[in-house]
Amino acid sequence: MPETVRVVHFLNQFFAGIGGEEQANLPVEVRDGPAGPGRALQAALGSYGEVVATIVSGDNYFIEERPAATKAVLAALHELNPDVVVAGPAFNAGRYGLAAGEVCALATDSAGIPAVTAMYPENPGVLEYDTRVYVVPTDETPARMQQVIAHLARLAVKLGSEGTLGTAEEDGFMPRGIRRPGMRQHSVAKRAVDMLTARMSGRHWVTELPIRMPDGVTPAPPIHGLTQARIGLVTTGGLVPKGNPDRLVRGGANQYLRYSIEGIDSLSAQEWESVHRGFYTAIVNENPNYVLPLHVIRDAQRAGTVESVYPWFLTTSGVGTAVAEARKIGADMAAELKDAGVDGALMVAT
């Protein structure tokens, strides 16, 4: 058992202090020692561990160039040979969460190195990797960074020296759906009756077998007769008039806005901009039609492919939004479009 646990830390370009979205295409690189929140991780590790290196990757690069990114990370792990890998915390940053989860899965499955990460429970990285890696739950934002780092440090030392953690309840990570044999204080019959009576009397109770049902979305029926259809335009790209006069939030939205496109054939960079915080907006701000292809739908309208276009477009910032809020925003958008007689909506990805 090593006296001092060797830790390799994975960060994205933002938390490594390299830059924001303008550096999101940064290839994987390795830096000696801790960086960014890795310095707090080193402080929390104390004499029990050492952050020997930091692996950094741009969010876009890791997601868009995954084969090259994973190959570079795996090569770095083999060369550095740490006792444990720590990734993040990623909080509610979706691309970062996916990258952190993949790095931990690579370490565990391909390199045989224990790993742990931390992120918000609604981060897509949790949905993708929660059964494969240890994930410590966090808030949406880094407001409690120090507490999360302290938690990660404790688990890193335990993983790096002993190799395993206890139960999710004992060590504070998200359940991974793994059940191990063991003895309980009371029989299953008594525990079941206790849970039932607690539930019926309104007292707090916790199931021993949680089931997370995936959301099911029934596809809408196809549009019959597109040449007689009215089409609406929707964007989650944070598109607003220049200067953002209605103060659409850059992320964590709880509402949508609507703007008129009556008599407009194409969106100009002089009049429109994106305030979205989750992707590199410079390209969109040079040509707003990338997230709202008004010019394409106008061409279709002139060609008779569609009959008409709803004279308002609906916009919000689709990053960091809680699932419950996203459902409400989506339902409100759908209600407006349906009341306006819209037959189908076009929403391009960001």
In-domain check, residue 326: yes
pLDDT for position 280? 82
Domain extent, residue 27, equals 5-171
Nearest of 136, 79, 150, 85 to residue 114 by alpha carbon = 85
The pLDDT of residue 1: 44
Q: What is the three-class DSSP state of 240?
A: strand
pTM greater than the 0.85 cutoff? no
- Shared-domain flag, residues 146 and 241: no
Residue of 90, 15, 20, 98 whose CA lies nearest to 280: 20
Give the C-alpha separation, 21 to 12, whole Å: 11
Asked if residues 116 and 84 have their Cβ atoms less than 8 Å apart, the reply is yes
30 located within any domain = yes
Is the residue at 281 inside a domain? Answer: yes
Please count the structural domains in the chain: 2
If asked whether residues 249 and 335 sit together in one domain, one would say yes
Q: Does 11 fall in a domain?
A: yes
User: Which CATH number is 39's domain given?
Assistant: 3.40.50.2300
Residues 33 and 160 in one domain: yes
The set of residues, in sequence order, having a beta carbon less than 8 Å from that of 324 and lying 6+ positions away, is none
The answer to whether residues 155 and 36 belong to one domain is yes
Q: Is the dihedral of CA 237, 243, 249, 253 positive or negative?
A: negative
3-state secondary structure of 246: coil
Instruction: Return the pLDDT at 2.
Output: 53
Secondary structure E strands in 92-159: 115-119, 134-137
Measured between its terminal Cα atoms, the distance across the chain in Å is 47
State residue 212's pLDDT score: 67
Last residue of a domain, one of 153, 171, 189: 171
116 and 244 assigned to the same domain: no
DSSP per-residue letters across 78-104? HHH--SEEEEEEEET-HHHHHHHHHHH
Residue 49 covered by a domain: yes
> Which DSSP string corresponds to 14-73?
TTTTS-SGGGTTPPPEEEES--THHHHHHHHHGGGEEEEEEEEE-HHHHHHTHHHHHHHH
- Which residues, 6 or more positions from 331, have their beta carbon under 8 angstroms from its beta carbon? none
Burial of 144 (0-12, 13-18, 19+ CB in 10 A): middle
Instruction: Report d(CA 198, CA 196) in Å as an integer.
Output: 5
pLDDT per 10-residue tile (average), the chain, 350 residues: 84 94 92 96 96 95 93 96 95 92 95 95 88 92 93 95 82 81 84 94 85 75 90 95 93 90 94 90 92 94 94 91 84 94 88
Q: Reduced to 3 states, what is the DSSP secondary structure of residue 250? A: coil
Measured in whole angstroms, the distance separating CA 300 from the mean position of its chain's CA atoms is 35
